[in-house]
Amino acid sequence: MNLRRTFIAAAAAIAGLGLPFAAAAQTVLKAADVHPAGYPNVVAMENLGKKLEAASNGRYKLQMFPGGVLGAEKEVVEQTQVGAVQIARISLGVLGPVVPDVNVFNMPFVFRNEAHMRKVIDGPIGDELLKKISDSPAKLVALGWMDSGSRSLYTKTPVRKMEDLKGQKIRVMGNPLFRDMMNAMGGNAVSMGHTEVFSALQTGVVDGAENNPPTLFASNQYTAGIKYYTQTNHLIIPEIFVMSKVTWDKMPPADQALLKKFAREAQMEQRALWDKSVADYSAKLKAAGIEWIEIDNKPFYDATAPVRAKYGADYADLIKRINDVK
């Protein structure tokens, strides 16, 4: 009885201090991204964390680790799978082996434009792929999509038509699909890591590369002899943010629903931030003397048809559904 009275007295003392009885421990969610602080993806994730903390009365707190401080993307994915990292923004490449359908988004010109891509990921197809990832053996729960823009060519000499690309050494990501794509477009594909591109441009190992305006500016690659940005828009590849299934399974259903709600809001918020960053960085590149070249990209589309046929053979139905989205 004495023990019971002591317990009650302690509870009353806590209440008198205005502290919650048996105060719930705060769960810190570590979130990782290889992009730097201030990047649209990072800002959207930080804002998601603020909303979750407020809505849960502080039971959850998101701690953001930008700039690759927790490792490269592959390392972060591995940490997320075991629950050492709770949330990560990742590219689709690492998910292809476990959910092959996502490889469709890596194909050239599978989307007509960014508006088309956004309708696809915001609709039933996007939701189905999120579910497939969550149901896969990857030990990841797919929370939402993020925009990474359109990838176009940037070169030292102008590319105004497909013939101008002939013989030019162009850096691409290390994937056979992307090498086949660039070679089909008339260039000479050279695979290398992103961090190697600047010196490769400086030394003439490559004559150009392909990416979006924010990356071209933020990486300083535009200062390594680049003079032209040709809007081929050959790749429009969305990215994804995921949660560790280890952490997800420990969350009450109500908290899971709350997180999903804020994830959808983050998907839309990141998009608005992305569009602003593209406009801002494009203006900076033009001010630095980079010439913007608008072209008819149909010849590039036609030339890459064999690539879509080769890599899309197993996903013909999905590609048709994507194409049917208006």
Residue 24 has a pLDDT of 60
Look at residue 318 in the predicted model and tell me its pLDDT. Answer: 95
- Long-range own/partner contacts, residues 161-170 (CB < 8 A, 24 or more apart): 161/295, 161/299, 162/186, 162/299, 162/300, 162/303, 168/207, 168/208, 169/205, 169/206, 169/207, 169/208, 170/206, 170/207, 170/208, 170/209, 170/210
In the chain, the domains with their CATH numbers are 24-147+238-280 (3.40.190.170), 150-236+287-324 (3.40.190.170)
pLDDT of residue 35: 86
83: left (phi over 0), alpha (psi -120 to 50) or beta: left
The per-residue pLDDT for 6 is: 42
What is the pTM assigned to this prediction?
A: 0.86
pLDDT tens track of the chain, all 326 residues? 444 444 334 433 333 344 333 346 899 999 999 888 999 999 999 999 999 999 999 999 999 999 889 988 889 999 999 999 999 999 887 788 888 899 999 999 999 999 999 999 999 999 999 999 999 999 999 999 999 999 999 999 999 999 999 999 999 988 899 999 999 999 999 998 888 999 999 999 999 999 999 989 988 999 999 999 999 999 999 999 999 999 999 999 999 999 999 999 999 999 999 999 999 999 999 999 999 999 999 999 999 999 999 999 999 999 999 999 99
**For position 15, what pLDDT does the model report?**
38
Residue 7's pLDDT is 39
